[in-house]
Chains A and B, each alone.
Chain A
Amino acid sequence: MPRPGEGKVDCTVIAGRVHQTLSSAYPLKLLSPEAVHNPDTRLIPAVSYILSYGGGIVHGDQIHVDATAGSGSALLLLTQGSTKVYRQRPGRPPSYLKNPKNDSKFDIHQTYQTLVVDVQANAMVCLLPDPVTCFEHAKYNQRQVVRMADASASLVLLDWVTSGRMSRGERWVFDKYLSVNAVLVGGKLVIRDALLLEDARALSKDRETSSFKRRLADIDVFAYLLVLGPEVAKIAKVFRDEHAEHRIKPFRPNARAVDAEETDIRWSVSEVAEHGLEGVAVRVAGPSTEAVKWWIKKRIGGLQSVVGDSAWSMYYNA
């Protein structure tokens, strides 16, 4: 039996069919709609939704998901709506949320979400959640590690965060956002991207140095995207080509952007080549979830032919 907040997704391909086993315990819920296998795709797709009861997580929640994509499978991990991180609840979390395993490890006044993904040889995982939205005073720790068996495994990982409940005028007013994305290939750590947004302690003489709200004043959404491995080489190329074509001319305050729709999007692409694993890392900043979502969707459309129409539409049409 999984402990509170824990869940497991296992994808195995047996005799040309994908078998998915799921288990999860409150407040976490995993759901797996069937994705039709289009015989044109080499990998067999499977989809899992990572959900939480109440549509968000609170302090004291310690979500932990283990996911494995077996050889020959393409596992899409999705959410339904943004991951909302609510502010601290008064007092201690109820005992039914207690996971004794984490007792000494975690601070009960913060929220933790851990995802441990194994991608076997010739398999793929696409982690394409909606963005994280931290409410005022929330303290959130997101910890994701992807262990790729070798350079034949593939990965698409999207990690993004919004400024908060923009409709209520809350912008960058949470207390803490820590997001770590680590990628291992054959047991060797090759990427560790760790972003911390947290204001330094108040006794700082120089308040100016410590405010992430000011640092991020011009944007409302920041996304980090990894596109790695042989199955998604074509998608990596889309970004590479764009990088090669779109030179940046010296800034002019009144210059008109060529592509008006994407005026407010800032992006950069970095080549990644580690331990035989190749691809790109993309960073995108924009003024709204919709703008950034659309910018990304438009460029990763090549996934459709990798995972098939059925699985693709669950992501694309969401």
Chain B
Amino acid sequence: MDKETWLLWMLADSQLPTGGFVASAGLEAAMQGGLVREQAYEEDHDSFVTFIRDSTHNQSRFSVPFCARVHDLVSSRLTDSELESKGDDQVINSLVDELVSLDSYHHSMVSSNRVAMRASIAQGGGLLSLFNRGYAHAKFMNDNRRGRACIRVAKELQRQSRLEKTRMHWPTVFGMVCATMEIRMERMQQLYLFQFLRQVFSAAIRLNLIGPLRAQTLECDMLELVDDLMSQYSGLRAKTDTLEDIFGESVVYTDPVLELYQGMHDRLYSRIFNS
């Protein structure tokens, strides 16, 4: 069996300890605010399905292009030939700086949405710590030069985030971890969307919005959605370098209503999720 498939199964596991189970991606607020109707099944058949489609579409334009940019960057920097020609220290230091600066750009995209920002930092920190305490001790990371360089990058990013010199947002860490473990671009993008969907489904079950069996049915149907989004947007890379990039559409959000409802989360009278 190949390493990539094995790792994908691990990363797709709902038990992955990154703290994702406290996030509902705005579903809880959308439900209490009336956007997604309770007893969705009988009364308003489509409001949950609509929510999940729209929010996945939003992710494919807002976060996935960002992960893809990080994946490109890490894959191109951490190669044996780069390490050979420039030396480990220089490659590692400049990659860390580039990742910190990309992360800071991503931060600016969630800095006016406190709820989304909090969730992104919490999950990013969770995955980074999982990498450093878990995957970094695996044999396949330690028995080669590139793997050892990856470990040093991740350690340094965690050190800087502890000192509050940087945050580490979910898409940044996700792109970095997948690239360091040599999960291919397309697989990573699919995994990102799968994980997002699975998280919303699991939140929906806990909110009593749908039952676990209906969740399985719907999750099957979401394959078509993910394929469709991949075919349209998998080539997107977040461009962040110039003013025209800032004004550009390489990384955008597409659902203002969702953004608004997510922001209402902290006003919920009672809640079980953090976002």
Contacts and interface: CB of A to CB of B under 8 A. Distances in A.
B108 interface: yes
A224 to B, nearest CB: 8
B247 A114 contact: yes
Interface stretch (A75-83, A188-196, A229-237, A294-302): A188-196
B264 A248 contact: yes
Interface stretch (A8-16, A52-60, A130-138, A262-270): A262-270
A196 B109 contact: no
B232 A204 contact: yes
B111 A285 contact: no
Q: How large is the interface on A (under 10, 10 to 19, 20 to 34, 35 or more residues)?
A: 35 or more
B269 A249 contact: yes
Interface string B202-242: 00000000000000000000001101110110000000000
Interface residues of B, number: 52
Given A194-B251, A195-B252, A285-B257, A182 B267 contact: no
A206 B224 contact: yes
Interface stretch (A89-97, A210-218, A309-317): A210-218
A190 B243 contact: no
A216 B50 CA distance: 11
Nearest to A243: B267
B229 A193 contact: no
A201 to B, nearest CB: 7
Contacts of A284: 260
Q: Indicate the member of A193, A268, A285 with the most B CB atoms within 10 Å.
A: A268
A205 B228 contact: yes
Interface in B62-95: none
B108 A209 contact: no
B34 interface: yes
Contacts of A145: 243, 246-247
A218 B258 CA distance: 12
B273 to A, nearest CB: 14
B7 interface: no
A190 B111 contact: yes
A219 interface: yes
Contact of A206 (B32, B105, B225): B225
B269 A268 contact: no
A33 interface: no
A219 B227 CA distance: 29
A85 to B, nearest CB: 17
Given A182-B246, A195-B256, A270 B112 contact: yes
B114 interface: yes
B268 interface: yes
16 contacts: A180-B246, A180-B248, A182-B246, A182-B247, A192-B246, A197-B256, A205-B224, A209-B229, A215-B257, A216-B257, A248-B33, A268-B267, A274-B111, A281-B113, A283-B263, A285-B256
Interface of B: 29, 31-34, 37-38, 50, 53-54, 57, 61, 104-105, 108-109, 111-115, 224-225, 227-229, 231-232, 243-244, 246-249, 251-257, 259-264, 266-270
